[in-house]
Amino acid sequence: MMKIDTEKCIGCGQCVKDCFPMDIEILDGKAKINNKNCIKCGHCIAVCPKDAVSMDEYSMEDVKDYDKESFSIAPDTLLNFIKFRRTVRQFKNKQVEEEKIAKIIEAGRFTETGSNMQDPSYIVVREGLEQLKDLTFESLKSMGEYVLNNHTPETRLYRRYAKMWLKMYEEYKENPKNDKIFFNAPVVIVITASSQVNGALASSNMELMVNALGLGTFFSGFFVRAAQESKEIKDFLGVKRRKEIVTCMILGYPDVKYLRTVPRKEADVSWK
């Protein structure tokens, strides 16, 4: 429930103006939250000049007062940071500290979600990584065989990948170090959500934190495809009801150093 400290409230109406569900009103010179249409987005907490708003559903210890020095990033610096990010597939034989994993998940936790659903969940795989690898390669093998043995317009699109999956499986079985899915990284974070958009947004912010921490990652589309077709993988991960696997972050310390940004196609922009 959202609460107003009437001793602090000055009735300025800032919370009323910023409340999208229109769940706040001014009565007798004080703000009143009706808690009927509230989605717990926290805008009233953030906008109040007197710190008069609180909620008992989430921890108020998460709330931090803004100051320019701690919260601001120069636009050009941020843009260059984004341009310099690279997909990393070469990793050192070095474990990632739990504190860094926690910060990456924190970046996901504070990402915006539609209707403040806050639906993304994070599955961190370390100890069980070898088992997950086996399940993933087996799933890709089954998918590859199905595609090559069934000639339909749909499977025709995947024939090139099917051959690749079978070759990757054979190489992995010959030597587990020939790992073309997880690339011998020490950590995997699987992001699940009820909404694909919410999960993807969280993943994007998480990647920014990965790079800020001096780590590297790539999003494994092959794993997501394998997991979608494998009940064993979903059961192993413990994917919750009404949620689906959105992304899979392969994570570790980079064993490669990039020296510059790369070019991209011109932006496809329409001005109306």
Q: In this model, does residue 90 exceed pLDDT 90?
A: yes
**What does the pLDDT average to over 189-215?**
98
Q: Please, which pLDDT band fits residue 18 given cuts at 50, 70 and 90?
A: very high
159: domain CATH number is: 3.40.109.10
DSSP state of 182: T
Whether the CA torsion 192, 198, 200, 201 is positive or negative: it is: negative
Read off φ and ψ for residue 30, nearest 5 degrees. -130, 150
Q: CA 9, CA 48: separation in Å to the nearest integer? A: 8
C-beta of residue 188 within 8 angstroms of C-beta of residue 248:
yes
Q: Tell me, yes or no, whether 125 and 210 share the same domain.
A: yes
**Residues above pLDDT 90, as percent of the chain:** 97
pTM of the model: 0.94
Residue 268, domain member (yes or no):
no
The answer to whether residues 116 and 231 belong to one domain is yes
When pLDDT is averaged across residues 26-36 and rounded to a whole number, the result is 96
Residue 186, in any domain of the structure = yes
Residue 155: pLDDT over 90: no
Structural domain of 139: 73-259
In a domain, 271, yes or no: no
- Summary mean pLDDT of the chain: 96
Residues 56 and 123 in one domain: no
Q: How confident is the model at residue 117 (pLDDT cuts 50, 70, 90)?
A: very high
Distance from the Cα of residue 213 to its chain's centroid:
16
Report the domain count for the chain: 2
- What pLDDT score does 151 carry? 87
